[in-house]
Amino acid sequence: MRTWGFSVALLGMVVLSGCPKTQHCMSVSATSDLLRSAQLVHFDVYPSGTVCVNGLLAVGAPAFVRSQSFKVNETLQLDIPAGTSTLVLTTFSDTAGQVPLGEGCVEVNLKADSQTCLAMTLLRALCSAGSPCPCDTNSDCADRAPVGTTPRPVCDLTQHSCFECAINDDCALGRVCKNGSCVAGCDQQAMRGCPSPYACCATTCTLTRDDPQNCGGCGLPCNGSQVCSRGGCTTACSDNATACGSACHDVSSNPNACGGCGQTCTGSQVCSNGGCHDGCDVGLTDCNGWCLDTTGSAYGCGSCDTVCAPAQTCQQGQCNCPTGLSLCDGKCVDLTSDSANCNACSVVCASPSFCVSGQCTTNCPSGEVCNFGHANQYCYQKQTANDPAHCIDCVTPCDSNHPSVNAICSSGVCGYPCVTGHLSCDTVLHTTGSDTNGCETDIFNDVMNCGDCNNACAAVHNGVPKCNGGQCELDHCTGTFASCGGTSCNINLSTSDANCGVCFHPCPSTESCINGQCIVTGSGTGSGTSEP
């Protein structure tokens, strides 16, 4: 009996070759990129009578009779007896066979003495590895999804595959549909916005109240050593807010800095009184994850969407400037000394004059005159200023020439906190500005200092660890080992009967996994080559 051997070239075409001098082809149409970008191609051969439905293996199909994986630059072989068979092709973006790209099914009749030309269309794989979930209606996605997979709510009738989404409206506000999955983002052109109080800046939902690149609105960055505080660029955080890098956070209610910088609430949790909880404490209002006292919180004064201007306070649900200050263009200013608002909003003292007691003059009654070279000059008392550019005196700034360090000024005293995600691990504390390499350690990504100085990620047997956001995780497995969805590399794809060659690919009960192949003792071999 004549058998057929496969030669696989990962270039958009699968070549089916018989004995020498005879060439046959299986062309892959519609989505050949799913084959060109594959790092591993896997074939399953099913017996005569196995049915393909809409390009995918029918539900309830019998067990396969032959199975083989082809890797880039590796020569493998799979012999198929002449006659009627059903071939299933699955492509993967990784050599371990854990990330499926596409899959297809075709029923063929391989004749011993004639050429056979086959055609197969690959459908993009969105279900678990090796487990297609074809559909004709949206309800099929829930009914036919493999056991243990999350049902997809949408059926794409062009590919008969289950997707999480087909259009943006299938996703929650603040998420968009990309390649069949809902991902975080927005789309200004498509009028796809963000949940309040977030704004859509380009393609990202941004909280403009504390984003230094979009402070108070999209495309409004803060300059130099300024920080973003409640939608305004300033030299220091207002009220009791905490400086986390160049952003000011209310760590008592901010779910992205709950209780401290970098401490993020997960899932549906909210930030209440500096801790992540399932709901807000009594007397607080849930404002999209922020638990605010709307009678006294400047981040939600009177309502979730009302943020008081920098330096304003919230009293009985109303935003007010401190006694002696007036609100001008969203800022609380002293009309008696502000050279840009002298005695009234927008009344500017022309250089070289400045504002003293509500009048433009060139004479300061006492203290120092800080001439910054701008129209807005003013009389300066260093012990009440918080400008790191002029903290010690009119011309002496705080030392700010160190990596990942924020220089701040408080009552004429310089401070040097690290930016979020960095620490100075080669000194005890960074407090004087004398540490020449600054906060040199990235504790969000450094496996030797993950989350804190000297907190090294533990070694992973048969694998490599990584530091992700300050947490130790498995990066990847080495050799023939895989995690197959777990957290450790304890599965040898070369010998595992339940995961032979690739994860979730069991051998039939009559075969064993040897060198990543399901083999029956005494079986014959054929010929074939694998090209890159």
244 with 197, same domain: the answer is yes
113-138: average pLDDT: 57
Do the beta carbons of residue 185 and residue 191 sit within 8 Å? no
Percentage of residues of the chain with pLDDT beyond 90? 9
What the block records as the tokens of 47 is 């017996």
Q: How confident is the model at residue 111 (pLDDT cuts 50, 70, 90)?
A: confident
104 with 203, same domain: the answer is no
H helices then E strands: how many in the chain?
2, 45
Predicted confidence (pLDDT) per residue in 36-47, tens digit: 777 888 888 888
pLDDT recorded at residue 21: 38
Residue 285 lies in a domain: no
- 531 forms bridges with which residues in the sheet? 9
196 with 245, same domain: the answer is yes
Predicted confidence (pLDDT) per residue in 278-311, tens digit: 999 999 999 888 899 999 888 888 988 888 877 7
CA atoms within 13 A on the CB side of 334: 13
**Domain boundary pick from 197, 218, 249:** 249
Closest by alpha carbon to 457, among 441, 443, 473, 437? 473
Work out how many domains the chain is built from and give that number: 2
Whether pLDDT at 246 is above 70 = yes
Residue 16 lies in a domain: yes
53 with 122, same domain: the answer is yes
Burial class (CB in 10 A: 0-12, 13-18, 19+), 114: exposed
Q: How confident is the model at residue 154 (pLDDT cuts 50, 70, 90)?
A: low
With tokens 């009967």, the residue in question is 497
Predicted confidence (pLDDT) per residue in 422-437, tens digit: 888 876 544 444 566 7
182 with 126, same domain: the answer is no
**Domain boundary pick from 185, 218, 249:** 249
Output DSSP code: residue 36.
H
pLDDT recorded at residue 187: 83
189 with 90, same domain: the answer is no
Residue 22 lies in a domain: yes
Exposure string of 198-229, with b = 16+ CB inside 10 Å and e = fewer, is bbbbeebbbbbbbbbebbbebebebeebbbbb
204 with 127, same domain: the answer is no
Q: Is 140 helix (H, G, I), strand (E, B) or coil?
A: helix
Residue 96 lies in a domain: yes
pTM of model > 0.85: no
Do the beta carbons of residue 152 and residue 181 sit within 8 Å? no
Mean pLDDT over the full length of the chain: 74
Closest by alpha carbon to 502, among 128, 152, 145? 128
86 with 26, same domain: the answer is yes
- Phi, psi (5° rounding) for residue 43? -110, 135
10 with 120, same domain: the answer is yes
107 with 29, same domain: the answer is yes
Predicted confidence (pLDDT) per residue in 180-236, tens digit: 677 888 887 777 788 877 888 888 888 888 888 898 888 889 887 788 888 888 888
Residue 242 lies in a domain: yes
Q: Is 476 helix (H, G, I), strand (E, B) or coil?
A: strand
Residue 231 lies in a domain: yes
CA atoms within 13 A on the CB side of 447: 10
How remote is the C-alpha of 260 from its chain's centroid?
21
What the block records as the tokens of 349 is 């003292």
DSSP states along 358-398: TEEES--SSSEEE--SSS--EEE-GGG---GGGSSSSS-PP
183 with 245, same domain: the answer is yes
pLDDT recorded at residue 268: 81
Residue 93 lies in a domain: yes
User: How far, in Å, are 175, 224, 269 from residue 172 at the CA level?
Assistant: 6, 37, 17
Q: Is 255 helix (H, G, I), strand (E, B) or coil?
A: coil
Predicted confidence (pLDDT) per residue in 473-509, tens digit: 888 999 999 988 888 899 999 999 989 999 889 998 8
CA distance 367 to 379: 7
Q: Residues in the chain, how many? A: 532
Q: Is 422 helix (H, G, I), strand (E, B) or coil?
A: strand
228 with 123, same domain: the answer is no
Residue 444 lies in a domain: no
User: Which of 24-33, 119-128, 181-190, 390-399 is modeled with the greatest confidence?
Assistant: 181-190
**Domain boundary pick from 210, 225, 249:** 249
Closest by alpha carbon to 353, among 344, 340, 366? 340
* Domain span including residue 507: 3-132+496-519
